[in-house]
Amino acid sequence: MKKELLSQVYRHPLISHDELMRIIAAHHKVSFKKGDYILKQGTISSNYMIMESGLMRSFAYDYKGNDITTDFFCNHEIIIDVLSLFKRIPTSENIQALTDCECWQIDFEIFQELFHSISGFSEWGRLWMTNSLFHFKQRSLEIVTISAKERYLQLIKEKPEVVLQAPLKNIATYLGITDSSFSRIRKEIS
């Protein structure tokens, strides 16, 4: 599974087969149990992972101390705190397993060595970062330009495993709405 999954994630025309094998070999398997913290607020991220199976979320506490889900990580997605990892600063978010999870991890120092020695890998990273920036910009716009019901329907379409496995309160905070508003939306849809 490792080779197939990581080959898919790191697919890029400028990465040769031998270079891809070096990148894949740099990853090691890690497992987490439901409820485990992968990253805690105030710590500095030292790696990133690719989800083989499971579901995780990132969350932060708002100014009132409420737990607000900022993202969900599903199968084949990259689990990363970009600011903490690349700027080497303490994170403002937490990352927690919502189910038992299997992941492929690469440590920051090894990533850096490969990133600077494989030109196609740096191009892959630039493309991944561009896509991530687009995703987060789109999400911030959608919070103010489309209804919570539309955002929920979009989540069902894009990440159905979240709707099936995440606690409802996590989904509600991700959508930016209260539990009672979320309950009404769910009744309308069903």
- 31 within 8 A of 102, measured Cβ to Cβ: yes
Q: Which helix (H) or strand (E) holds 51?
A: strand 47-53
Q: Where are the domains of the chain?
A: 2-119
Give the model's pLDDT for residue 160.
95
Task: Residue 169: name the closest of 157, 153, 181 by CA.
Answer: 181
Distance (Å) of CA 29 to CA 21, 102, 164, 165: 16, 7, 25, 23
pLDDT in tens, the chain (190 residues): 799 999 999 999 999 999 999 999 999 999 999 999 999 999 999 999 999 999 999 999 999 999 999 999 999 999 999 999 999 999 999 999 999 999 999 999 999 999 999 999 999 999 999 999 999 999 999 999 999 999 999 999 999 999 999 999 999 999 999 999 999 999 999 8
Fold classified for 2-119: Jelly Rolls (2.60.120)
Contact 48, 106 (CB under 8 A): yes
| pLDDT at residue 51, as a whole number | 97
User: How many helices, marked H, and strands, marked E, lie in the chain?
Assistant: 9, 8
What pLDDT does residue 190 have?
83
